[in-house]
Amino acid sequence: MARESITSSVNTGVAKRRAATHYGRRLHERQALAVYEQDNGQVVMETTFTYDKLVDFVLSDKLYNYLPAGVRVLSAQLMVTVAFAGGTSLKIGTYNVTTGAAVDDDGLITDANAPLASLGAGAFVQGSGAQLNAATGLAADYNVKAVATGTFTAGEATLRIVFQRPVDLYAPLNG
Residue 12 region, left (φ>0) first, then alpha (ψ -120 to 50), else beta?
alpha
Q: Is 161 inside any structural domain? A: yes
Question: DSSP labels for 110-140?
Answer: -TTTSBGGG-STT-EEE---TTTT-SS--SS
Q: Is 69 inside any structural domain? A: yes
Residue-wise pLDDT tens digits, 155-165: 999 999 999 98
Residue 126 has a pLDDT of 96
Which of 36, 109, 104 lies closest to 79, judged by CA? 109
Instruction: Give the pTM.
Output: 0.76
Residue 12 has a pLDDT of 54
Residue 32 has a pLDDT of 55
Residue-wise pLDDT tens digits, 116-145: 989 999 999 999 999 999 989 999 989 899
62 pLDDT band, cuts 50/70/90, is low
Residue 3 vs residues 9, 25, 47, 119, 157: alpha-carbon distances, Å: 19, 9, 25, 41, 32
Domain tally, the chain? 1
Q: Is 175 inside any structural domain? A: no
Q: Is 138 inside any structural domain? A: yes
Q: Is 24 inside any structural domain? A: no
CATH of the domain at 158: 2.60.120
Tell me what the mean pLDDT of segment 98-121 comes to: 93
Q: Is 21 inside any structural domain? A: no
Residue 25 has a pLDDT of 47
Q: Does position 74 have pLDDT exceeding 60, yes or no?
A: yes
The parent domain of residue 46 ranges over 30-165
Q: Is 10 inside any structural domain? A: no
Residue-wise pLDDT tens digits, 11-59: 555 555 555 555 544 555 555 567 777 777 788 888 888 999 888 776 6
What percentage of the chain exceeds 90 in pLDDT? 48
Q: Is 20 inside any structural domain? A: no
